Chain A
């Protein structure tokens, strides 16, 4: 693990305050002195943990989307749906935009997040990470904002309680899969050391090697 230089300077993303970061022991995090925003986090677990979790999450994600979430039966009829099925039903009921939105927040965003995380983690196994890893990381962060699996889970539960009055509901494998994902996603975010990755990334223009930044120098932006 590369050590942080004693005099590395950062600006707080929330309040723009310039401050220096001290090296962090494992499991600790650095907060902004003024507004409390988390500046850096040193994950404590094994290095491979994020990748392992991401792979597991990817497998479970596939299960969650292919297997029915639950089985509903009433008066001899039964219905079951997958996440995509729910979005598809909205599409069929002339609420196409809502259906697409649901699909995005429940499938595309989390799926994209996992996909990008997976690729970048695999790419980051090298000592000097290729530049596209940075691109991936940016995309992954964007997707992370829009992936709403936990909201969806609560929504399903509320819907089930409403429906449970007129039908018997049995939770399917898909439901448990989504529950597992709800735990895995934050776990991945917590155990992933973005700063370390950024430091190891090969720079966009390939010019300044990372070591010099570690030495404390503030680079000049490119035009």
Chain B
């Protein structure tokens, strides 16, 4: 039968022993740790950039492990060590550059320390006050890589920018320096890159750099002027302030533009030379074809009249003073002032000339001039432009009743007649006031005051004594008299006090009035005194009254 199965004939099942794993699964953990560690190490090694050395004169604010090298505001490196050089003369800064910036380390790359700096082009690097100094970087164009550099002492003036360089010639440098800004219509568009003395030693050559796209505004007609500081004219014209910017105020600056009366001009190549004018006014001055010079002789002092002071005609500026000097009046052999003026009436006369071209010739003008001077009384006068500064200017006005003069057209420069100026009148007025004050009999007034005071004092004393002697009962008249006396004394007292404090006040009574008052008071006091004497001798008079006939 198939039921009975012999166990011994059954094959034996295979025994699968649990294999003793050599390495248990726990080793994953350290392997994982090792992998991570290796990964970190590899990543660090791979991302390591080159090490560079920069030599500086001093390492202000540079700290190992903290100071960065920045280019375009991106950290491209970190200082790893700061040490003195072998001869202790310099500082060697060792830095590690990021890998992505390794390609920038070429031969003409430049490094400098960025710290707060007030330079001619303004205040820079203020953010380093908070963030600590860093090393600035400027890329170079070379293809040769380099690892050792000499650091600059100051940031480089010209960076890798587009623009053009020009040369300016000026008699003096003024307040310009490397980094001084260049302005076009008050926009900073460039800077001064350098300067040197001209070969002949008589002028200065200033190199400037104008950034693009502004460099195309520099044309053949462009005028450059020194825009340093503030151009303040406190003249008879008034108060005028011209300044480009605060930086120009501190650091000096140059501005340029094309004058209005000129065409725009054509392109100029780089390194073209221009003249650097002293001020904007001088730069933009247009020549005046009607310009002529006249000479004026003044007998009054011309202190306050400066070269450049305006010359006006009926209040309109038609020229300026070009010379102020001294000469001798041949007639009286005394000194007199000699003022040369330049007449530039273009702006003012242009309209008249256009209307009537016939009048525009020299002869016509001279004839007109003669007419104005001889028959209409046109005279030159010195007038005060500003009481504050005492500045004078020359004004041509029609002076009524001016003494007749003859205009000699032969002289060159033409001499024009003058009339006394307004200032002299003021001076004369002041002088007369002062004389009047001087003539006041102040001494005599003083003496009178003293006498009146003395008499009054005595009077008061006597009155006091009398009042004490007499009984309280007063006769009405006597009482009234004494009342009046009391009042008079009080008034006198007040007057004296007032006189004392307000003697020289504007609205005090005229000195003469005061004198009269004092004399009155003196007389009154004397009269009272006599009365008091009499009362002393005849006290019954108070009741009976003054006897007839006695004083």
Direct contact of A and B (CB under 8 A): yes
Mark A6-48 against chain B: 1 for CB-CB distance below 8 A, else 0: 0000000000000000000000000000000000000001111
Q: How far is the CA of A173 from the CA of B37 in the complex (A)?
A: 10
Q: Is B127 a contact partner of A46 (Cβ separation < 8 A)?
A: no
The reply on A178 being an interface residue by CB < 8 A is: no
Closest A-chain residue to B35, C-beta based?
A59
How far is the CB of B74 from the nearest CB of chain A, in Å? 12
How far is the CB of A43 from the nearest CB of chain B, in Å? 12
Closest B-chain residue to A173, C-beta based?
B40
Q: Is A53 a contact partner of B26 (Cβ separation < 8 A)?
A: yes
The reply on B484 being an interface residue by CB < 8 A is: no
A78 partner residues in chain B, CB cutoff 8 A: 66
Q: How far is the CA of A77 from the CA of B67 in the complex (A)?
A: 9
The reply on A128 being an interface residue by CB < 8 A is: no
Partner of A52, one of B30, B40, B130, B131: B30
Closest B-chain residue to A191, C-beta based?
B26
A148-200 contacts to B (CB < 8 Å): 173, 180
Q: Is A77 a contact partner of B37 (Cβ separation < 8 A)?
A: no
Partner of A56, one of B23, B29, B40: B29
Closest B-chain residue to A61, C-beta based?
B33
The reply on B24 being an interface residue by CB < 8 A is: yes
The reply on A55 being an interface residue by CB < 8 A is: yes
The reply on B36 being an interface residue by CB < 8 A is: yes
B17-47 contacts to A (CB < 8 Å): 23-30, 32-34, 36-37, 40
Closest A-chain residue to B70, C-beta based?
A76
Which size bracket describes the interface of A in this complex? Answer: 20 to 34
Closest A-chain residue to B127, C-beta based?
A76
The reply on A115 being an interface residue by CB < 8 A is: no
Q: How far is the CA of A78 from the CA of B29 in the complex (A)?
A: 34
Q: How far is the CA of A52 from the CA of B24 in the complex (A)?
A: 10
A108 partner residues in chain B, CB cutoff 8 A: none
The reply on B49 being an interface residue by CB < 8 A is: no
Q: Is B37 a contact partner of A46 (Cβ separation < 8 A)?
A: no
A56 partner residues in chain B, CB cutoff 8 A: 29-30, 32-34
The reply on B132 being an interface residue by CB < 8 A is: yes
**Given the contacts A75-B131, A77-B66, A59 and B33 also touching, CB distance less than 8 Å:** yes
Q: Is A45 a contact partner of B30 (Cβ separation < 8 A)?
A: no
A77-108 contacts to B (CB < 8 Å): 77-79
Q: Is A62 a contact partner of B40 (Cβ separation < 8 A)?
A: no
- Which of B28, B36, B130 has the most chain A CB within a 10 Å cutoff? B36
**Given the contacts A46-B24, A79-B66, A63 and B37 also touching, CB distance less than 8 Å:** yes
- Which of B32, B33, B66, B131 has the most chain A CB within a 10 Å cutoff? B33
A63 partner residues in chain B, CB cutoff 8 A: 36-37, 40
- Which of A45, A59, A180 has the most chain B CB within a 10 Å cutoff? A59
Closest A-chain residue to B21, C-beta based?
A46
Q: Is A52 a contact partner of B29 (Cβ separation < 8 A)?
A: yes
Q: Is A77 a contact partner of B40 (Cβ separation < 8 A)?
A: no
Partner of A46, one of B25, B30, B34: B25
Partner of B26, one of A46, A62, A76: A46
A47 partner residues in chain B, CB cutoff 8 A: 24
The reply on A214 being an interface residue by CB < 8 A is: no
Mark B174-199 against chain A: 1 for CB-CB distance below 8 A, else 0: 00000000000000000000000000
Q: Is B130 a contact partner of A76 (Cβ separation < 8 A)?
A: yes
The reply on A49 being an interface residue by CB < 8 A is: yes
A53 partner residues in chain B, CB cutoff 8 A: 26, 29-30
Closest A-chain residue to B73, C-beta based?
A76
The reply on A60 being an interface residue by CB < 8 A is: yes
Q: How far is the CA of A182 from the CA of B30 in the complex (A)?
A: 15
Q: How far is the CA of A57 from the CA of B32 in the complex (A)?
A: 11
**Given the contacts A60-B37, A75-B131, A77-B66, A48 and B30 also touching, CB distance less than 8 Å:** no
Partner of A60, one of B27, B28, B33: B33
Q: Is A48 a contact partner of B24 (Cβ separation < 8 A)?
A: yes
Q: Is A59 a contact partner of B40 (Cβ separation < 8 A)?
A: no
Q: How far is the CA of A56 from the CA of B36 in the complex (A)?
A: 10
The reply on A67 being an interface residue by CB < 8 A is: yes
Partner of A49, one of B26, B32, B34, B130: B26
**Given the contacts A62-B37, A63-B37, A77 and B132 also touching, CB distance less than 8 Å:** yes
Q: Is B26 a contact partner of A59 (Cβ separation < 8 A)?
A: no
B23 partner residues in chain A, CB cutoff 8 A: 48
B132-149 contacts to A (CB < 8 Å): 132
Q: Is A48 a contact partner of B40 (Cβ separation < 8 A)?
A: no
Q: Is B66 a contact partner of A45 (Cβ separation < 8 A)?
A: no
A55 partner residues in chain B, CB cutoff 8 A: 30, 33
B130 partner residues in chain A, CB cutoff 8 A: 75-77
Closest B-chain residue to A54, C-beta based?
B30
Closest B-chain residue to A59, C-beta based?
B33
How far is the CB of A86 from the nearest CB of chain B, in Å? 14
Q: How far is the CA of A177 from the CA of B66 in the complex (A)?
A: 24
A48 partner residues in chain B, CB cutoff 8 A: 23-24, 26-27
Q: Is A59 a contact partner of B30 (Cβ separation < 8 A)?
A: yes
Partner of B131, one of A49, A67, A76, A180: A76
Q: How far is the CA of A16 from the CA of B165 in the complex (A)?
A: 96
A62 partner residues in chain B, CB cutoff 8 A: 37
B66 partner residues in chain A, CB cutoff 8 A: 77-79
- Which of A46, A55, A60, A76 has the most chain B CB within a 10 Å cutoff? A76
Q: Is B40 a contact partner of A67 (Cβ separation < 8 A)?
A: yes
A180 partner residues in chain B, CB cutoff 8 A: 33
Q: How far is the CA of A55 from the CA of B36 in the complex (A)?
A: 13
- Which of A49, A56, A75, A78 has the most chain B CB within a 10 Å cutoff? A56
Closest B-chain residue to A79, C-beta based?
B66
B154-211 contacts to A (CB < 8 Å): none
Closest A-chain residue to B129, C-beta based?
A75
A52 partner residues in chain B, CB cutoff 8 A: 24, 26-30
Q: Is A59 a contact partner of B34 (Cβ separation < 8 A)?
A: yes
**Given the contacts A59-B33, A75-B130, A77-B66, A45 and B40 also touching, CB distance less than 8 Å:** no
How far is the CB of B350 from the nearest CB of chain A, in Å? 61
A60 partner residues in chain B, CB cutoff 8 A: 33, 36-37
Closest A-chain residue to B27, C-beta based?
A52
Mark B119-131 against chain A: 1 for CB-CB distance below 8 A, else 0: 0000000010011
How far is the CB of A184 from the nearest CB of chain B, in Å? 8
How far is the CB of A28 from the nearest CB of chain B, in Å? 20
B26 partner residues in chain A, CB cutoff 8 A: 45-46, 48-49, 52-53
Q: How far is the CA of A67 from the CA of B131 in the complex (A)?
A: 24
A57 partner residues in chain B, CB cutoff 8 A: 33
B24 partner residues in chain A, CB cutoff 8 A: 46-49, 52
CB-based closest 3 A-B pairs = A76-B131, A56-B30, A56-B33
8 contacts between A and B (CB under 8 A): A45-B26, A48-B23, A48-B27, A52-B29, A62-B37, A75-B130, A76-B127, A78-B66
Given A49-B24, A49-B26, 15 more A-B residue pairs with CB atoms under 8 Å apart are: A46-B26, A48-B23, A52-B28, A53-B29, A55-B30, A56-B29, A56-B32, A56-B33, A57-B33, A59-B33, A60-B33, A76-B130, A77-B131, A77-B132, A180-B33
